[in-house]
Amino acid sequence: MSLREILEDGRVHLVDGAMGTLLYNRGVFVNVCYDELNLDRPELVQGIHEEYVEAGAEILETNTFGANPVKLSAFGLEDRTEEINETAVRLARAAAGSRAYVTGAVGPLGIRIEPWGPTALEEAVELFQRQIRGLLEGGADGFVLETFSDLHELQCAVRAVRELTDLPVIAQMTVGQDGTTSYGTTAAAIAPELAELDVQVVGLNCSVGPAVMLDALEEMAATTDRPLAAQPNAGLPRTVGDRKIYLASPEYMGQYARRMIEVGARLVGGCCGTTPEHIAALRDAVASWQPTRSSVFVPATPRDMPDDHPVQGPVPLERRSALGRKLARGEPVATVEIYPPHGWDRDAIMDPARELKVAGVDAVNIFDSARGQTRMGVVPSALLVEREVGIETVVHYTCRDKNMPGMISDLLGAAGVGLRNLLLVSGDPPVQGPYQDAKAVFDIDSIGLTNVVQGLNRGVDPGGNSIGSPTEFVVGVAANHGAVDRDRERKRFRYKVEAGADYAVTQPVFDPEALERFLEEVARDDIPVIAGIWPFLNLRNAEFLANEAPGVEVPTAAVDRMRSAQQSGTEAALEEGVALALEMIEAVRPLVAGFHLSAPNGRVDVALRVLREGGVRATA
């Protein structure tokens, strides 16, 4: 029989268990590339496969979970992608003989793909295909696509297989302790999504132990008629000394295997922490609990089916905030940027905010952790300003410091307390700040976060789950009109607009012609663009921006003007800095929807002077 035939015969079949756990237990440290062991220690890998065959496994997975060019590049092995995968199949085949089938194990790429990250879907397919080709060269009977949390990425992996072969595919997602993926997709919603793909078996693996997986599997069984696969961990790991130990016994795994078979599992096996002993216990469960007939799936009617995708249209821009209203009506806007305090002194942010309100600016932009510095958080800072000063804020929010669920939590909290205006940026690496050992997260970039917020504005989270009423964010993004790689910046700007950006704010403008060229190049991406304006305080200020500020381009002529003025003293330098800023406003006024003023060193008075003398109308 072929692998496809046994996957469709209605009986229960046994998959193997963990590979990495056994490699680690046998002295292979975690800093080693486990996929490379197919080449460097083939006898060790083949020996583990043989143990699983002896334990009763009918389907082996190759030692290739991370053998894609992205993950292999961390070890300098991306050029050996095909070789590693081909060799892995041959090792498993040698162990299987005629007693088991060999499936190519394919895991996530380890990077975010669109719409949550910068990697295009087409690029992701091509990366997966390098691994698939190697597995096909080795002679795999089919594929196990496992431990995916992003449905978009799993779809890319399936497409990568289907463009090269019609061999059977087992597609498995992973869920957390709450029974949902890291994107919030429920098990009940996963099953019909996977059933839409050209795969033979759908299911779950990794992340959780048998108890949680059983609950999730029951939800899947209610929403699909596809054969189900279940490969849980051996419980949750516990730290013992400096090691992670999985404590679920083989007997415990066997008990839960019987329950999983009862709810519809037709492939059972193990993931992290499982051993040949666990698989032997599962074998006994499979032998004693073979179904006498296939389970019957009755599709839910629309009335019975929960509405997990209540996608709505976003609230019109002019109804979201006063800033949104001015942008929607094409009225010029004026915002000023201030920094939260390094400590927790409220007056350090309230005093300048009050000054800006009196002056009549449209909104105060609360800047987020400039250059990796620690400051009061932007969301509580904005809340203080809006509630106690009574002026709208723009929450300048970076992607640097939190993963996507953490950012979503922040933004839902911001929406809940009434904050409406955002400026989403990827953020500067923390190495530029004083904490040299701090690690950036960069789970998703500003394009991915714009996609997330666009979903929230339509009432759904990234997993397609309802959040109740849609949020009402006015979404701003950054535009680097003077970028060295202009083609890349144009593409990123277009992606931001497609993701749902409502407006853009440029880097500080010191070359009007560069801004004009950029706006001409992105003319089809028609959203309001607000020009950033930075009045120099002195020569040192100008030299810093010209040489040390990421993404800011300051022409030599501007620095020379400041150098000449500085020779006449501090006041003369300030006057020249203001004059330069006024020239920028006059030059770009016809091109933009308004101005965003920086307040260097907290000098709100200088920013307001530039707005006043530049004739920028700033009304509340």
Give me the pLDDT at residue 91, please.
98
- Per the CB < 8 A criterion, the answer to whether 246 and 237 are in contact is yes
pTM of the model: 0.72
**What residues have CB less than 8 Å from 371, skipping those under 6 apart?**
428, 432, 433
Give me the pLDDT at residue 119, please.
85
How far is residue 325's CA from residue 203's CA, in Å, rounded to a whole number? Answer: 47
Strand 169-173 with 201-205, pairing? parallel
CATH architecture of the domain with range 3-288: Alpha-Beta Barrel (3.20)
Task: Locate 73 and state its tokens.
Answer: 């590049």
Percentage, residues of the chain above pLDDT 90: 65
**What's the average model confidence in pLDDT over 5-24?**
92
- Residue range 333-613, CATH number: 3.20.20.220
**What's the average model confidence in pLDDT over 114-118?**
82
Identity (one letter) of the amino acid at 100?
A
Give me the pLDDT at residue 109, please.
96
**What's the average model confidence in pLDDT over 421-446?**
67
Give me the pLDDT at residue 95, please.
97
Give me the pLDDT at residue 297, please.
40
Task: Locate 605 and state its tokens.
Answer: 């008075």
Supply the DSSP symbol for 226. S
Identity (one letter) of the amino acid at 281?
A
Give me the pLDDT at residue 343, please.
84
Give me the pLDDT at residue 243, please.
52
Whether residue 291 has pLDDT greater than 80: no
How far is residue 563's CA from residue 539's CA, in Å, rounded to a whole number? Answer: 6
Question: Backbone phi, then psi, for 372, in 5-degree steps?
Answer: 80, 10
**What residues have CB less than 8 Å from 101, skipping those under 6 apart?**
3, 6, 58, 59, 60, 141, 142
- Per the CB < 8 A criterion, the answer to whether 443 and 399 are in contact is yes
**What residues have CB less than 8 Å from 388, skipping those under 6 apart?**
350
Cα 465 to the center of its chain, rounded Å = 17
Give me the pLDDT at residue 440, please.
57
Mutual angle of helices 556-566 and 570-588, in 10-degree steps: 150
Query: Where does CATH 3.20.20.330 sit in the chain?
Result: 3-288
**What residues have CB less than 8 Å from 423, skipping those under 6 apart?**
365, 394, 395, 396, 397, 476, 477, 478, 505
Whether residue 132 has pLDDT greater than 70: yes
Give me the pLDDT at residue 137, please.
97
Q: Among 88-97, 351-360, 383-392, 422-431, which stretch is predicted with the lowest mean pLDDT?
A: 422-431
How far is residue 270's CA from residue 272's CA, in Å, rounded to a whole number? Answer: 7
- Per the CB < 8 A criterion, the answer to whether 101 and 142 are in contact is yes
Whether residue 453 has pLDDT greater than 60: yes
Whether residue 289 has pLDDT greater than 50: yes
Q: Among 54-58, 404-408, 427-431, 465-469, which stretch is predicted with the lowest mean pLDDT?
A: 427-431
Tabulate helix, strand, coil % of the chain (nearest 5).
45, 15, 40
Query: Where does CATH 3.20.20.220 sit in the chain?
Result: 333-613
Q: What is the mean pLDDT of the chain?
A: 88
Percentage, residues of the chain above pLDDT 70: 90
Give me the pLDDT at residue 430, please.
55
Q: For the segment 186-241, what is each residue's pLDDT rounded down to a tens digit?
A: 899 999 989 899 999 999 999 888 989 999 999 999 999 999 999 999 887 665 44
Q: For the segment 359-394, what is each residue's pLDDT rounded down to a tens digit?
A: 999 999 998 865 556 788 899 999 999 999 999 999
Q: For the segment 542-573, what is each residue's pLDDT rounded down to a tens digit?
A: 998 888 777 788 999 999 999 999 999 999 99
Please tell me which residue, 209 or 245, carries the higher pLDDT value. 209
- Per the CB < 8 A criterion, the answer to whether 503 and 474 are in contact is yes
**What's the average model confidence in pLDDT over 2-17?**
94
Beta-bridge mates of residue 615? none
Whether residue 301 has pLDDT greater than 90: no
**What residues have CB less than 8 Å from 183, skipping those under 6 apart?**
149, 150, 151, 404, 461, 462, 463
